[in-house]
Amino acid sequence: MDILETDAFDRRQRRNMSCALLLSLLPFFLSAALFFYLWTPDSSASIMSAGVKSAPVLLLAAAVLSWNGGQSVLGVVGGLIFSAVGDCCLVWPDLFLPGMAAFGVAHLLYSFTFLSSRYSAYSSSSSSSIWIRSLYLILFMIGGGFYIYMYPFLQKAPDSGVLLPAVGVYIALIVLMGSLAIRTRNMATLLGSLVFMVSDLSLALQVFKVVAPMEHGHVVVMVTYYLAQLLIAVGDVNAANSNDDIAKWKRS
């Protein structure tokens, strides 16, 4: 009977946590909806548009901070803040390189977080199994293949001397982040990282004119981008709370 009561209590706790997490994410959903409502293809670059674009990610950072505390500032919260900086930079085409650098720092912070003990409840020694290694290899092959495919188009860019190495480093960083997300075995984190890669690859194809302008290309990029950040944030909250539950169980 005690075991059944404990199991029922755990289920109630998880349900209550899910409801509380959903409530804390409402500002993110509302601000993302506002962005898509206000954005138009001919929107001009301005401080207002930069603020509306970065607001959802900043609100996600605030939500993760409220759940995980200051320990997440040098992790997912820090990555979200740098992502918001990147969002602001990309509003102005001339700030593309600083924006890419900001996102590169965000991927590094995510990568360091995925290596932390916070995700130890998910990862294990079996993470070095053959299929996990195969996924690592596939991701790096996709990243390398995409860079090779993009190379001729990057050469045509006005600042190709800077873009060629910068894009290469950026692709390496996001592939590393995706690979470490696989290691965590946290489903939300893994999906968020992979969707982030899809969003960035879609953006690169449009920015460097690899594909013809798509009617809803910007919408595809932003929907996948916000979804990726949401999943990474939720994954971090779940990882922290899973560690807390394990620690309580050990103490008991």
Output the six-digit token pair for 43: 């929107």
The model's confidence at residue 248, banded by pLDDT at 50, 70 and 90, is very low
Residue 1 reports pLDDT greater than 60: no
Q: Domain range holding 62? A: 2-251
Instruction: Report the sign of the C-alpha dihedral through residues 160, 195, 127, 250, in that order.
Output: positive
Residue 127 reports pLDDT greater than 60: no
Distance of CA 111 to the CA centre of its chain: 10
How many domains are contained in the chain? 1
**DSSP code at position 214:** P
Of 85, 83, 89, the C-alpha closest to 108 is 83
- Angle, nearest 10°, between helix axes 217-251 and 2-38? 160
Sequence-distant (6+) residues with CB within 8 A of 12 are none
> 11 or 61: which carries more pLDDT confidence?
61
Write the pLDDT tens digit of every residue in 38-84. Answer: 887 677 889 999 999 999 999 999 999 998 887 788 899 999 999 99
pLDDT value at residue 43: 77
Write the pLDDT tens digit of every residue in 129-166. Answer: 777 788 889 999 999 999 999 999 999 988 889 999 99
CB atoms within 10 A of CB 88: 19
- SS3 state at 252: coil
For the full predicted model, state whether its pTM sits above 0.75: yes
CB atoms within 10 A of CB 43: 14
What's the mean pLDDT in 174-186?
92
Distances from the Cα of 215 to the Cα of 153, 206, 218, angstroms: 21, 11, 8
